[in-house]
Structure 1
Amino acid sequence: MTVTIKDVAKLAGVSPSTVSRVIADSSRISEKTKIKVREAMQQLGYHPNMIARSLASQSTQTIGLVAPSSTDLVFQNPFFPTVLRGISEGAHTKQYSIHMTTGKTEKEIYDDVVKMVQGRRVDGVILLYSKVEDRVLSYLRERNFPFVVIGKPFKHVEEITHIDNDNFRAAKDVTEHLLRLGHERVAFVGGNLNFVVTVDRVLGYEKALRNAGISLRNEYVIHEEFLREGGQEAVNALLSLEDPPTALVVSDDLMALGVLNSLNELGIQVPKDISVVSFNNVMLAEMSRPPLTSVDINIFDLGFEAARNLMQMIENPKEPVKRVIIPYNLVKRSSCGPVESAIVEST
């Protein structure tokens, strides 16, 4: 026998309209009543008909997620499962579901987003990245469609709600950490320069060097994809220099793992011969050999806050634009040490 909303209302001792408001998590209903209704729903095994609710309210209760164009980047890099977990838990607080783009190219992703918006398949969109040039972001702004960016927008910063870390300051801090250990030949291994996070981090790195009176060396700045292979290619390029670096600031833990593997194959010891510091502090940072010194950017919180702020925008179109800065902290492990002369002698 099918359990109806009237059955729930009868058991809870409230009206059917009150049950509907509890399902919608209406602020007009007291927490005490919500608990009573939800207990009745659980006791009866009642599950709301989300399709019927969507037809009645013209709301899909669905958040669209837009990932970078490279599917390899999404499925290989631990950053994305963690941020998705944060979004999922945030969405669950208001019973929103998630719909993710499946396109492989930038054009396919853009077409997916157009279908999401024009087909009213989602109520709002979260961009899991921020690019210097991005058709998707421009389209969402033109349509005045609710969206939130994880990362700092390159343009119109004051007009777009975004959830970010202070990546400029974080990169400056980790570079200064290496400088305090005596390293002057510090290289930077970053990702694609079309991502704003890469731009901010390389600028923070450069600022720390300038403040220390150290000349910038173009050959010490390498840009690869945020993948393990990118780190391996960066090591080969940097260690082939006549005057190789004694320390590396690497923009991502997965890339740093490739760096460590390549250094090990070359017989270069970390941190005795070269120090390595990275970003994200995902599980592999602690499990690597040696364990990586890494900036914990609180990835889960980035996702959770993105979902929370988007739902506020969906439910209140007059919600003000926000810039939410998630704190970070440097987790010191075994991959950094005082400058040594071994790498100089080995070359």
Structure 2
Amino acid sequence: MPGANGRATQADVARLAGVSQATVSLILNGGDTGRRRVGEQTRQRVLDAIRMTGYVANPAAQRLAGGRARIIGVFTYEPVFPRDSRDFYHPFLIGVEAQAEQLGCDLLFFTGTPSPQGRRLLGDGSRRLGIADGCVLLGRHDDKRDLADLLSRDFPFAFIGRRESDAGTVPYVGADYVTATREVVERLFALGHERVGFLGDLRHDEPSVDRASGYHQAVRAARRRPVVLDGTGLTGGEALDLLGDNGLTAAVVWPSGLAPQIRSAALARGMSVPGDLSLAQLGDVEDGSPGDIDWTGFRIPREQMGAAAVQLLFDQLVSPTTLGATALQRTLACTVVPGTTAGPPAPGRVPAGRRSAQPG
């Protein structure tokens, strides 16, 4: 039975023939080797299913596998491409470019269509991606409809960052935010803080969920009570007040751009960081602000993720039969940084934010 868009996929063929999708790929791309490995009877069932469904193999993937075209698309959900080297997304694209060059591939950038929220969407433009052999996608706020469409069309792609879809296995190269966040929170407890708060974005996108998961793991292991606070839309002063209202001496902050604002508000009130309040960033600063503070927290392997995503896409194109679901989803470790913005709580200190002389 064809997929939702009316076009049959390898998954449709596999279901009808009663075999795995890897077996279908092997028969389509494996030549004599594939015939020997699966047997003639299984091969015939698959060929019959192909005729019944009208499945047509992705010609772009076949061209790349045969060495006749090497074009990799790049699409970002962010409103603009990086304007300078301080942009959060710049290292990702450096990695993408370097790995594409190493593999002998050209890059083709797609812009998609703008949305009322100011970010890009693939939408109907996803069909244009077929100009390339496959596509690397990046951006914090993806669109699940795009992922479902790409999966339904068997279009090769790789997302930079963990992404999930009800439509199937999303190929991605992600950062291990769970482990990194857990280790940062464990460090704050080890410094002597009795209560460590999580202040940030509480939406259910994958990057936020992973960080919250790491926080809760550390809190449970320390047998402490979690303090999860919504920092969406808060100024630095408002966030500082919120930490103080909850009697916190330390907090991990996400998105990372909020942490410098809290620090500035604390300094304006005569407080010190980390003397009166310890802060840790759960990732690199996203707003391109100067890196003059040695922040406690972790760094994301952005350049490595970009390169690994290109390699994952290339692997799908040239060796589709060797990649199982596990190989399609790859995770890289973050680098935990001790930094100078976290330290032991000062004896008899006043809770954060309660020395407020004027709003920050």
TM-score, structure 1 normalization: 0.70
Question: Does structure 2 conserve the Cα–Cα contact (< 8 Å) formed by 1:64 and 1:125?
Answer: yes
1:110 to 2:122 alignment: yes
CA gap 1:172/1:213 in 2 versus in 1, 3 angstroms: same
Q: Give 1:280 shift.
A: 3.1
Q: Give 1:73 shift.
A: 10
**1:48-99 residue CA offsets vs partner (Å, 9 max, x unmatched):** xxxxx99x9884613232324xx38976983311111111111122232131
Q: Give 1:223 shift.
A: 4.2
Q: Give 1:160 shift.
A: 2.7
Provide the C-alpha distance between the structure 1 equivalents of 2:123 and 2:167, rounded to a whole number of angstroms. Answer: 25
Residue type of the partner of 2:310?
A
Match of 1:16 in 2: none
Q: Give 1:112 shift.
A: 6.3
Match of 1:245 in 2: 248
Residue type of the partner of 1:324?
R
Match of 1:86 in 2: 95
Matches within 5 A, 1:2-151: 59=69, 61-68=71-78, 71=79, 78-93=87-102, 94-101=104-111, 103-105=113-115, 109-111=121-123, 113-117=125-129, 120-129=130-139, 134-151=144-161
Q: Give 1:274 shift.
A: 0.6
Provide the C-alpha distance between the structure 2 equivalents of 1:205 and 1:305, rounded to a whole number of angstroms. Answer: 27
Match of 1:296 among 280, 295, 299: 299
Match of 1:307 in 2: 310
1:222 to 2:234 alignment: no
Residue type of the partner of 2:105?
Q
1:204 to 2:209 alignment: no
Match of 1:259 among 262, 277, 302: 262
Residue type of the partner of 1:274?
L
Match of 1:327 among 327, 330, 333: 333
CA gap 1:108/1:201 in 2 versus in 1, 3 angstroms: closer
1:336 to 2:342 alignment: yes
Aligned-partner SS, 1:98? strand
Question: Does structure 1 conserve the Cα–Cα contact (< 8 Å) formed by 2:196 and 2:226?
Answer: no
Residue type of the partner of 1:275?
S
Q: Give 1:277 shift.
A: 1.1
CA gap 1:176/1:285 in 2 versus in 1, 3 angstroms: farther
**RCO (CA 8 Å, sep 6+): is it higher in 1 or 2?**
2
Aligned-partner SS, 2:155? coil
Provide the C-alpha distance between the structure 2 equivalents of 1:278 and 1:156, rounded to a whole number of angstroms. Answer: 31
Residue type of the partner of 1:114?
S
Provide the C-alpha distance between the structure 1 equivalents of 2:167 and 2:180, rounded to a whole number of angstroms. Answer: 19
Q: Give 1:111 shift.
A: 2.7
Match of 1:185 in 2: 195
Residue type of the partner of 1:238?
L
The share of aligned pairs that are identical, in percent, is 22
Provide the C-alpha distance between the structure 2 equivalents of 1:122 and 1:175, rounded to a whole number of angstroms. Answer: 43
Provide the C-alpha distance between the structure 1 equivalents of 2:181 and 2:93, rounded to a whole number of angstroms. Answer: 24
Match of 1:6 in 2: none
Q: Give 1:312 shift.
A: 2.2
CA gap 1:317/1:62 in 2 versus in 1, 3 angstroms: same
List runs of 5+ in structure 1 lacking aligned partners: 1-52
CA gap 1:200/1:275 in 2 versus in 1, 3 angstroms: same
Provide the C-alpha distance between the structure 2 equivalents of 1:331 and 1:157, rounded to a whole number of angstroms. Answer: 37
Q: Give 1:310 shift.
A: 0.8
Matches within 5 A, 1:135-174: 135-155=145-165, 159-174=169-184
TM-score, structure 2 normalization: 0.67
CA gap 1:337/1:286 in 2 versus in 1, 3 angstroms: farther
Question: Does structure 2 conserve the Cα–Cα contact (< 8 Å) formed by 1:189 and 1:231?
Answer: no
List runs of 5+ in structure 2 lacking aligned partners: 1-62, 355-360
Aligned-partner SS, 1:287? coil
When you count helix as a share of all residues, which structure comes out higher?
1
Aligned-partner SS, 2:274? coil
Match of 1:47 in 2: none
